[in-house]
Amino acid sequence: SHLTVAGFDIYKSYLDVPAQETMVAALREMVRQAPFVVPVTPRGKPMSVRMTAAGAFGWITDRQGYRYAPEHPQGTPWPAIPQQVLDVWDALAGVARRPECCLINYYGEGARLGMHQDKDEVSYDWPVVSISLGDAGLFRMGGPERGGKTQSIWLQSGDVVVMGGAARLAHHGVDRIRFGSSTLFPKGGRVNLTLRVVT
């Protein structure tokens, strides 16, 4: 239950429970301004994950394709990335750029995210920082090629992952969540915040 991929760093329980609760309060405010949507793949298939975003750009997908967009599909600007979230980036990414996108993924019962690479950013030179909240999720990580060997690890509430270097272009996904394994969200589920430099 340990991942050995160059550039993959996991900070178990980086956020304590009070810090997670503060982040959930900020999350509720973001979602009030920018509600979760059902993303649809370019081929027209609805994804099981619900998505929204904060920052200058949000990652969206619909029949038009995958892209970073300056507005929510409802036509409003994305909310600002909360300072508490930027503080995690500053502490762990240690780079000159600030994230321009905080993608917010919600996993309800049965939701998953298929294996993919994050390749819609202009540069892959910047790390990606991921914050897990709520129910545990089984994260799977492979290498730069599709269909290679993979390793899996459970990400728990408060865990933070930093992907840089070779890990930045690794294939990865979320196979399943342990619905109801955390009490952070009264109705259950997992939220992942992913911070990225996009331009």
Work out the angle at residue 102's Cα, subtended by the Cα atoms of residues 98 and 103, and round it to the nearest 5 degrees: 150
Of ligand MD3, Fe ion, none, which one sits near residue 168, judging by CB under 5 to 8 A according to partner kind?
Answer: ligand MD3
| Residues near 77 by beta carbon (within 8 Å), at least 6 away in sequence | 70, 71
Give the shortest CB-24-to-ligand MD3 separation in angstroms.
Answer: 16
Residue 1 burial (C-beta neighbours within 10 Å; 0-12, 13-18, 19+):
exposed
What H or E segment, with its residue span, contains residue 8?
Answer: strand 8-11
130 binds, among ligand MD3, Fe ion, none (CB under 5 to 8 A by kind): ligand MD3
Residue (26 or 193) nearer to ligand MD3, CB = 193
Using CB distances below 5 to 8 A depending on partner kind, what does residue 105 bind out of Fe ion, ligand MD3, none?
ligand MD3
Instruction: In angstroms, give the least distance from the CB of 190 to ligand MD3.
Output: 8
Q: For the segment 116-155, give every residue that binds Fe ion (CB under 5 A).
A: 118
Residues in the site for ligand MD3, rule: CB under 6 A?
Answer: 103, 105, 113, 118, 128, 130, 137, 161, 163, 167-168, 170, 172, 174, 192, 194
Q: Is 138 helix (H, G, I), strand (E, B) or coil?
A: strand
SS3 91: helix
Radius of gyration of the chain (CA): 16
CB of 126 to Fe ion, least distance (A): 14
Q: How far apart are CB 51 and Fe ion at their closest, in Å?
A: 12
Please list the helix, strand and coil fractions of the chain in percent, rounded to the nearest 5, in that order. 15, 35, 50
CB closest to ligand MD3, residue no: 192
CB of 113 to ligand MD3, least distance (A): 5
Longest dimension (CA), the chain: 43
Could you list the residues that contact Fe ion (CB under 5 A)?
Answer: 118
